[in-house]
Structure 1
Amino acid sequence: MKMWREAKALHSDPVEAWASIIEDADKAKSFKQARGRGGFVRSSWQEVNELIAASNVYTIKNYGPDRVAGFSPIPAMSMVSYASGARYLSLIGGTCLSFYDWYCDLPPASPQTWGEQTDVPESADWYNSSYIIAWGSNVPQTRTPDAHFFTEVRYKGTKTVAVTPDYAEIAKLCDLWLAPKQGTDAAMALAMGHVMLREFHLDNPSQYFTDYVRRYTDMPMLVMLEERDGYYAAGRMLRAADLVDALGQENNPEWKTVAFNTNGEMVAPNGSIGFRWGEKGKWNLEQRDGKTGEETELQLSLLGSQDEIAEVGFPYFGGDGTEHFNKVELENILLHKLPVKRLQLADGSTALVTTVYDLTLANYGLERGLNDVNCATSYDDVKAYTPAWAEQITGVSRSQIIRIAREFADNADKTHGRSMIIVGAGLNHWYHLDMNYRGLINMLIFCGCIGQSGGGWAHYVGQEKLRPQTGWQPLAFALDWQRPARHMNSTSYFYNHSSQWRYETVTAEELLSPMADKSRYTGHLIDFNVRAERMGWLPSAPQLGTNPLTIAREAEKAGMNPVDYTVKSLKDGSIRFAAEQPENGKNHPRNLFIWRSNLLGSSGKGHEFMLKYLLGTEHGIQGKDLGQQGGVKPEEVDWQDNGLEGKLDLVVTLDFRLSSTCLYSDIILPTATWYEKDDMNTSDMHPFIHPLSAAVDPAWEAKSDWEIYKAIAKKFSEVCVGHLGKETDIVTLPIQHDSAAELAQPLDVKDWKKGECDLIPGKTAPHIMVVERDYPATYERFTSIGPLMEKIGNGGKGIAWNTQSEMDLLRKLNYTKAEGPAKGQPMLNTAIDAAEMILTLAPETNGQVAVKAWAALSEFTGRDHTHLALNKEDEKIRFRDIQAQPRKIISSPTWSGLEDEHVSYNAGYTNVHELIPWRTLSGRQQLYQDHQWMRDFGESLLVYRPPIDTRSVKEVMGQKSNGNPEKALNFLTPHQKWGIHSTYSDNLLMLTLGRGGPVVWLSEADAKDLGIADNDWIEVFNSNGALTARAVVSQRVPAGMTMMYHAQERIVNLPGSEITQQRGGIHNSVTRITPKPTHMIGGYAHLAYGFNYYGTVGSNRDEFVVVRKMKNIDWLDGEGNDQVQESVK
């Protein structure tokens, strides 16, 4: 602030004042190095708003708007507050960073199976269940308000089973507790699935289960087999386009899956993704032939009608892994015998095909009379995925596995699907999280539980469900003024820009299937991310290696339109993707806004890397980068020996308390708490929409998020004059899920950069979009609803509708702008105005819109769905209505459950009962993932993959000994009881209950080995960093693992680390991101990008740490450790 005031005294233009600081390397370094050391001074709103605006204008003018970014999570908890910052960023062309994938709360298995980000039952539906497994979800601790449903349903006789590695609170509420070794859940799920398939699909088939999987899954669909050296491998799904007459399909035949019916005829049944786009009326789950419209029953298995029996290879990973996890060593390619048919293809060749059902039974190791030596004839056979095999991997007895699987399935058979699995982050935070989740989802599908009241997949993490989503999106991302917004998936963003990729120890080669051609998958993990960006699969930010505001001007000079010019420049290399040169000084983020989040205190995986490379301040990294250790260097990314430090020029955080993030920020803006602002709130746990109301004014000079960003927008509009005017911005947009573009590359993967195909925007590369921005009008646009809501309309998840009448209503509710660039448009002056925009535009809160939305979907399906909302057509929920009483939302086609007096909300309900397809390749629940990358990484079908080796312990073990014993333990970070993330955890009451500062839980056995007594100070460290905490020694923790409850701040009661000689660190100090290539897939039906829908995730539970007792407790209270002390002198 001192430098700013001095610069302002010398420069009347605030942008020039900012430039004089940030272009002076010594000045920039001086304040960046001071981050995290206190030294804050008071300022005024006028002063900080001008500084922020000047920094934003400078960055946009010199580097591009995509170098300005913002992070805020979970809009459902306060959707107007989220929208305030996102709207400002979107209007100026900044980047909105995702959160659901970054938090690793996104379960990729949900998009993979259903084409849906996440949709789950409300907690009241637990009461309709008659068998519940709580698997890795600690309901009484992390879902306390809903836990009563869990206990009450037991009075009805519902059996409850807990599955957790430690004796968690949920175990006390259950009839049985299973304790598998942490990270091995997929193995137990596979064994349970083995029992279910054996007993309820083969030996004594359930008519309900058979009919369910035939109608609602991809199990009848045909898969082509590829010839290998002495065996076959499962390839991609057969498509209508593969056959001589394309089965009469002229529209998208390459995207229509094929099956045999029970008469032995081949059909392209209704409902696959090819029917969704380009034609109307056949995208439904009626059992009809897509050509003739006649009813047809699909054939599940080829056994009995096969032309021959073929040996098909399946990858096996159960013999891999580290010494910390049990293995069962078998051949890494297991050959199974399958019934197949031989077909004549359109190109004149022949192909062998089998069904997904037959592949699934073989994959689960079920002998079907084919003398398959790798299949089991008994549960006691130690062969892949039997209960005896799982017993060796998980430590859970085979008898318990058999019993629970049998009971769960028997209940589902008798009740038609009222068996439920409640699951949470405990399973989802592992690197191979999708294997864990697909294991559970497969069990539910085998038993016909998805879409049935009282049954299904109940995944709860955070407060993820923003119910009036389609009304909120235009507000949040300024889609009323310009489209598209810039979105970025945070995991890839922070992996790149905090230089965590420079320390990568995991290679693609060790992740690949033993059946894959490894020559096609060379390089570093960041190479796969870059390839995904340039093929249009993932977003990028910054997007291009040049200021996107300059491209249109260069195109005009060349006599070309901006899109053609960009394509030409990408092809000839004169413009590159920014991710290919992340450390050249131009291609990194420069301004970061953080609001409604404690990014550096809660979710910042790779915390120490962020401190070094993003913030340029003290850090505790202990490991060596790839250059120093001689690791695999990238092929697509330019390497520099010295990574760029201190990339962020300005960090602005909005908060109502001084968090760890605030401590490392340049500017802290005091914001309103829940009872000091007007906002709205929804949850996945109940179907109501709640208000937040300003019961009192914000304390002292604090303001609501809406008012803060509105003021910044106003100052920005003033400061930008003379620097930015009406500008043409070039935006790259990844191929979007729920758009016709998701039908991009149907058969295999081709990369234009390698010369395998041409660069076609929206097909083999991102869309290249031209967006006109009016920077001096930013404030006027922020405070009004733009004209695109009338010109284009609104929609979501692939359907759209007209919003003229809603805009007319908003003009009456909010009044209109009397003058200026937004003259005549409805106003958004207050947070309540913004709330009214959401409520008026969303089908969930406006019955008239709900009927329009259902009618729009009906055009796709050819079935009338408007009856689901007609009785609510006249209902319009206003903000004052929900202030008087929370209101139940209206059923909407953008969700898969119903808000109804007769049924609790349950995901998949409309798919099963209204025959609306899932938004997947087959239109059904997708067990088989046939994308080339999924097959080559060995995950087309469910497999068990042990936790990965992060290699973060070996190089530090014993290197800085303090004389005490050291031991490597698995490091888990479950959610705590004494706070909601980091909020509440640092008040005196909670600190008193929780030992007054950070704690780490250890088993009695490990504590004994290490000479640690309860409440001793311990140090936890690895190559990523170090932390200090008190030990909680407990018999409820199994040996081999340690738990540090998530989001314990680094600002209270924290001594210095003996390893780093700095103040102790935080739970994320010992973590580092490792992205998974299969989460980078895009442009492929359900495997296509959407903001917070699909993308790389920030997993962290595979991490190991070294634990030891501390010898010297140093509180670092001497001179030089506290900037405030220094400044006082």
Structure 2
Amino acid sequence: MSQLIDRLLFFKKYQGKFAGGHGVNTDESRAWEDTYRSRWESEKIVRSTHGVNCTGSCSWKIYVKSGLVTWETQQTDYPRTRPDMPNHEPRGCPRGASYSWYLYSSNRIRYPLVRKRLVELWREKRKTLDAVSAWAAIQNDPVARQSYQAQRGLGGFVRVSWDEANELIAAANIHTIKTWGPDRLVGFSPIPAMSMLSYAAGTRYLSLLGGTCLSFYDWYCDLPPASPQTFGDQTDVPESLDWYNSGYLLVWGSNVSMTRTPDAHFYTEARYRGAKSVVIAPDYVEVAKFADLWLHPRQGTDSALALAMVHVILREFYLERQVPYFQDYATRYTDLPFLVILDPSDAGQKPGRLLRAADLADDRYHTTEADWKPLVWDREQACPAMPRGSAGFRWENEGKWNLEPFDAVTGAPLTPSLSLGESGEMATVLFPYFGGDGRFGLNEAEPVHARKVPVRSIALKTGEHVQCATVFDLMTAHYGLSADATAWSDYESNVPGTPAWQEVITGVPRERCIAVARGFARNAEATQGRSMVILGAGLNHWYNMDMTYRAILNMLMLCGCIGQNGGGWAHYVGQEKLRPSAGWGPVAFAGDWGGPPRRMNGTSFFYAHTDQWRYEQLTPREQLSPLASPEKWPQTVLDCNIQAERRGWLPSAPQLAVNPLQLGQKAAQSGQDPATYVKDALVSGSIKLACEDPDAPENWPRNMFVWRSNLLGASGKGHEYFMKHLLGAPNNVMNEDSDQRPDFAKWHDKAPEGKLDLLTTIDFRMSTTAMFSDVVLPTATWYEKSDLNTSDMHTFIHPLQAAVDPAWEARTDWSIFRGLAETFQRLAKGQLESETDVVLSPLQKDTPAELAQPYGDEIWRSEHPIAGVPGKTMPQIAIVPRRYDEVYDRYITLGPGLEKKGNADHGLQWDTTAEIQELKQTHPSVSVKYPERSSLFQDTDAVETVLMLAPETNGAVSARSWKSLSDKTGRDLSHRLGGRDGDRITFADIITQPRQVINSPVWSGVSSTQEAYTANWLNVHEYVPWRTLTGRLQFYQDHPWLRDFGETFATYKPPIETHSTPEALGAAHDNGNPVIPLNFLTPHQKWGIHSTYAENLIMLTLGRGGPVVWISEDDATRLKIVDNDWVEAFNCNGTLVARAVVSQRIPSGAAFMYHGAERTANVPGSEITGKRAGIHNSVTRVVMKPTHMVGGYAHLSWSFNYYGPVGSNRDEFIFLRKMNDVNWFDTTEKGKG
């Protein structure tokens, strides 16, 4: 046989079975495998992520075949952690894995759309008029205007070209600016961290026009006001990897395994490592299955449970026994040693404001900003002393803004006293109690409690003597542990503050409360603070959420957990962590071309302009402390907001009751500069703030942009009021005007319906907001554009990257607003060119204006007016030149502002000239007008600009920012850069592999591949002060408004009565079935992220396929409802229809409707109204809390998304009943569902 045949026959196929019959060789064809291989083969794999505000920020592989996205899988190439800590991957969830369905679904918006009636009017007017005049003609005809408003939400869109859509929108913008003012242009887009440049695209356009950008973190109620109140920071929290370092985990109001899917493995791994886990939630949530112990307090009563735990910790770890670590931490890092002046009252004294250096007679204390330098009692010197690091040192630039334990006057070592117990002097101090007033969760007791507190008598410069107590002594007395230990109640007594007291309110057994408090504190003592609380929306969406959060933070501060790895607070609600914020800010708000921008807190805006204030039942006076004087308070919540806007505490939008572009001319005619003219006119009353008459046509918002958001669906609390008053659309409001009448706002007997002239939505899917819009523009999906994404759950920066071009006629957000800017500039010629704008700004946090009002209660318009001083007693007034004939050229180029003034963030400032010069070389301008500047024409240009300018992505910039903080604190902090001053992260880097950001002083922690990021680390380990009044963690809030509301300390306030379910309403809509009121809660869902994925067919298939309401078995029995019955929920605010899910895991008295259902997915008609039913927000209405309106007071100062009224909704009640008939409105006959 030849060698050839030998070679061919050398490998012989084995015939028959093998492996004991488990395997077999056959001769059948394997060609069928090619079909499988073909199904899963791809032409390319592109890295991207999902900009959906889920906090996940996961890196995904996007597969492309034949030019189409076919599917996605998780990336697994995150940088590794150190060997003894778990890695970040795999990161992802089922929602993200289904996103590619959207790209080619029937719900994809493919072309620009305009409401048919509007486009008919537009085209008719354009036959004879220019674009701006055509729009003006439509708006000047009330019948024509109302004709298209009434069609909102009823379908009837027609396809138009991009040119026509842009012209209509730009003409509307120009007409609005000319007629009403640029601040009548409003934009809403949330959470920039999820797709930073897509957000910046719209805000840059608006800011160049002088339009208003609305905040979102507060409106979403993702903002925990307790964070600014305690830390002077919006929200800085540990990354999820740091859970692994914890020894004791309280998971409180956060369903980690369901809503934090990519991070849940760290929780499991921490438990394997030995961490104790306690889950606290009213329902048996998914994460409770992982816990060692599940506590289930009645919903909305968590603060009582936390306060009782604080009571145990104070008693057992501070008073009966002193733990050295706790004592040192509390003295060094908290306000507990600071002195509080006691104010006299009839029955005793009450806690007043902090004692300040300016109060003392000794001239040595009368330094710069002495009003902002609180004092402690020096135990060694037996006298008041001025510690370093308080707010008064922050802007002096003398290097004393640090927490080093030295007297700022003498330079001697400082030994502050936590308690004045050795003084021998006692005073009777009064404390308010609120636990007997509210809708539920009550425990009756006397409204005022008198307790003994040790004090010192201190002489003031006025010659009088006042008694002062430390914050610590006041707090222990507040929690029922007065200086007289014989007066303490035992844990079994139902006395405010005790475990037995909370049991009456929450239902949690007292022994469980005691055991958890002891375990938490003992672990912190043994591990130097490695006890952690993971918090979420389950706590933060209540009216008195700050009381709950502050009570929990008290536990952490007392146990020395803040700023320690494995310890602290971990609040995850909203993807708020925009890590390269310093590089992003100037691009987003056009700060490179000047400013300031107009920015408005969303909650106040929507409360006023959807007219929810007209239906308000709650009054400020009913919420006051029994120790306050109610006569000095106005009758309505709106009045409080107006007072705050007048004082410069909050912004206004619109700002003035006149067009601000007209004020420059009027000022010139009067011979004054515009700023002085406006100030004098405001003080005299000849010009009023727009907030004083929100229903007057000249004060309406006129044009609104919504992008990256489902404002009218997922986040529109008071949904039906939006429909009625803002849009003039069909609605289900069943409420009537309140009997309240504001003192400071004009009342119109007939409320306006249809304030907005134009609502433009930019989205990739037909959301609820898009359905009610006038213009809908198709945007690129997250797999069709370039962008940036960061999260607080990890320290990486991720790209969004175009795997394919935008489908059909979709465009990227950057391209859409760039096109609008180009059209606007063309149409503005001869209409608007060079104008002078007057911009009002509040007394902003992290600027010297935060020290405007040291005693907190000043106003220039009252019965005893003080001087109106812009930036001091009233809003700041800026004159901003506008070049409307250069909007496009400025949009696509980086302006000169950063070269002139440098860059800044969080009160730090540094030069950025070198980076600007490099950008000019690497990204040269394409603008004819500004050829010498760098380009922002493409979204990738904007991305690279942000990465170049941000200290988190450019080591050279980070080094300069650390130098700025070092100069301010007097401490060399350059080593915290970690040797990365030569590093730079580019877009090319992050599309290759996730990159960990560079340490930056903009944030309060540091991280590396060796250590997990945890918040407040710099404060504790590098003596960098917190940005609060005292420079420390704040237990005590001494602003007059918080004192009047009894919130100097965290206290228990039951859920409020919203008056939305009067008995007469339930009786008026009787359908023969039982009806009961239930507390209505809207947690985050399992099958979607907010409303995204709510109509995704894959997710609908996994869930029940539409809106559902979960109720308890007991309530279902009372209502004669079985699982999957159709039910209707209603109250004064509106109505919704859903299927019932009957479950033993739900507590009686509550109804859970998971947040984010869409009106586009299985929503039938209402039996009550005979119209299409609403969504989860249809039965809600916003109620604002006055204490969140405070400003100009160190850490209690407004800044965009930092502090301000929040949009809570979980105190709400509904009536629930079974439906008899389900009408889908698809036939003339009613059919059962």
| TM-score, normalising length: structure 1 | 0.97
- Tell me if 1:750 matches 2:858: yes
Alignment of 1:85-484 (within 5 A): 85-263=202-380, 264-306=382-424, 308-322=425-439, 325-369=440-484, 371-372=486-487, 375-376=488-489, 378-484=490-596
- Tell me if 1:993 matches 2:1108: no
Aligned match of 2:153 in 18, 32, 36? 36
For residues 387-412 of structure 1, the C-alpha deviation after alignment (integer angstroms, 9 at most, x for no partner) is 00001100000000000000000000
- Distance in 2 between residues matched to 1:321 and 1:843, nearest whole Å: 48
CA contact (8 A) 2:889 2:927 kept: no
- Distance in 2 between residues matched to 1:520 and 1:890, nearest whole Å: 51
Residue number in structure 2 paired with 1:719: 827
Shift in Å, 1:278: 2.4
CA contact (8 A) 1:851 1:870 kept: no
- Distance in 2 between residues matched to 1:833 and 1:289, nearest whole Å: 50
- Distance in 1 between residues matched to 2:319 and 2:119, nearest whole Å: 76
Residue number in structure 2 paired with 1:650: 758
For residues 844-879 of structure 1, the C-alpha deviation after alignment (integer angstroms, 9 at most, x for no partner) is 000011110010011110001111115011111111
CA contact (8 A) 1:251 1:279 kept: no
Match of 2:457, as an amino acid? R
Residue number in structure 1 paired with 2:878: 769
Give the number of equivalent residue pairs.
Answer: 1110
CA contact (8 A) 1:247 1:268 kept: no
Choose 239-248 or 674-683, whichever is displaced more.
239-248
Residue number in structure 2 paired with 1:529: 641
Q: Are the structure 2 counterparts of residues 502 and 536 from structure 1 closer, same or farther at C-alpha, using a change threshold of 3 Å?
A: same
Alignment of 1:757-796 (within 5 A): 757-796=866-905
- SS of the residue 2:423 aligns to: coil
Residue number in structure 2 paired with 1:690: 798
- SS of the residue 2:244 aligns to: helix
CA contact (8 A) 1:7 1:18 kept: no
Residue number in structure 2 paired with 1:1112: 1221
- Distance in 1 between residues matched to 2:1227 and 2:828, nearest whole Å: 45
Residue number in structure 2 paired with 1:513: 625
Shift in Å, 1:368: 4.0
- Distance in 1 between residues matched to 2:253 and 2:928, nearest whole Å: 57
Residue number in structure 2 paired with 1:883: 991
- Tell me if 1:826 matches 2:826: no
- SS of the residue 2:861 aligns to: helix
- Distance in 2 between residues matched to 1:502 and 1:818, nearest whole Å: 49
Choose 739-748 or 840-849, whichever is displaced more.
739-748
Match of 1:680, as an amino acid? L
Residue number in structure 1 paired with 2:729: 617
For residues 715-771 of structure 1, the C-alpha deviation after alignment (integer angstroms, 9 at most, x for no partner) is 000111111011100000000001111111112412111033111000000000000
- Distance in 2 between residues matched to 1:1030 and 1:944, nearest whole Å: 35
- What stretches of structure 2 of length at least 5 have no aligned partner? 1-117
Match of 2:468, as an amino acid? V
- Distance in 1 between residues matched to 2:852 and 2:1192, nearest whole Å: 5
- Distance in 2 between residues matched to 1:4 and 1:49, nearest whole Å: 16
For residues 747-802 of structure 1, the C-alpha deviation after alignment (integer angstroms, 9 at most, x for no partner) is 24121110331110000000000000100100000000000000011010111111
- SS of the residue 2:700 aligns to: coil
For residues 473-523 of structure 1, the C-alpha deviation after alignment (integer angstroms, 9 at most, x for no partner) is 001000000110000000000000000000000001111101001111122
For residues 322-373 of structure 1, the C-alpha deviation after alignment (integer angstroms, 9 at most, x for no partner) is 2xx232211101111000111111011110000000011111111443544x
- SS of the residue 1:1108 aligns to: strand
- Distance in 1 between residues matched to 2:538 and 2:635, nearest whole Å: 31
- SS of the residue 1:213 aligns to: helix
Residue number in structure 1 paired with 2:85: none
- Distance in 2 between residues matched to 1:1112 and 1:483, nearest whole Å: 57
Q: Are the structure 2 counterparts of residues 1083 and 246 from structure 1 closer, same or farther at C-alpha, using a change threshold of 3 Å?
A: farther
Match of 2:1057, as an amino acid? D
CA contact (8 A) 1:735 1:742 kept: yes
- SS of the residue 1:905 aligns to: coil
CA contact (8 A) 1:132 1:161 kept: yes
- Tell me if 1:636 matches 2:744: yes
Aligned match of 1:1007 in 1116, 1123, 1148? 1116
- SS of the residue 2:186 aligns to: strand
- Cα RMSD for the two superposed structures: 1.2
Shift in Å, 1:989: 2.1
Shift in Å, 1:261: 1.3
Match of 1:565, as an amino acid? Y
- Distance in 1 between residues matched to 2:219 and 2:461, nearest whole Å: 44
Q: Are the structure 2 counterparts of residues 833 and 2 from structure 1 closer, same or farther at C-alpha, using a change threshold of 3 Å?
A: closer
Instruction: Give percent identity, aligned residues only.
Output: 55
CA contact (8 A) 2:892 2:927 kept: no
- Distance in 1 between residues matched to 2:1050 and 2:836, nearest whole Å: 47
- SS of the residue 1:351 aligns to: strand
Aligned match of 1:1062 in 1171, 1176, 1200? 1171
- Tell me if 1:968 matches 2:1077: yes
- Distance in 2 between residues matched to 1:392 and 1:505, nearest whole Å: 28
- Distance in 1 between residues matched to 2:375 and 2:313, nearest whole Å: 27
| TM-score, normalising length: structure 2 | 0.89
Match of 1:653, as an amino acid? T
For residues 977-1017 of structure 1, the C-alpha deviation after alignment (integer angstroms, 9 at most, x for no partner) is 00011111212222122222110000000010011111000
CA contact (8 A) 2:125 2:137 kept: no
- What stretches of structure 1 of length at least 5 have no aligned partner? 1122-1129
Match of 2:296, as an amino acid? A
Aligned match of 1:729 in 825, 828, 837? 837
Shift in Å, 1:817: 4.4
Based on CA coordinates, which of the two structures has the bigger radius of gyration?
Answer: 2
- Distance in 1 between residues matched to 2:506 and 2:1069, nearest whole Å: 34
Match of 1:280, as an amino acid? E
Aligned match of 1:1077 in 1186, 1206, 1211? 1186
CA contact (8 A) 2:453 2:482 kept: no
CA contact (8 A) 2:1123 2:1141 kept: yes
Match of 2:867, as an amino acid? D
- Distance in 2 between residues matched to 1:115 and 1:262, nearest whole Å: 28
Choose 917-926 or 901-910, whichever is displaced more.
901-910
- Tell me if 1:492 matches 2:593: no
- Tell me if 1:705 matches 2:819: no
- Distance in 1 between residues matched to 2:927 and 2:501, nearest whole Å: 73
- Tell me if 1:74 matches 2:191: yes
- SS of the residue 2:481 aligns to: coil
Shift in Å, 1:899: 2.0
Shift in Å, 1:246: 4.9
Residue number in structure 1 paired with 2:919: 810
Shift in Å, 1:4: 4.0
- Distance in 2 between residues matched to 1:1088 and 1:11, nearest whole Å: 51
- Distance in 2 between residues matched to 1:576 and 1:8, nearest whole Å: 35
- Distance in 1 between residues matched to 2:894 and 2:121, nearest whole Å: 35
Residue number in structure 2 paired with 1:562: 674
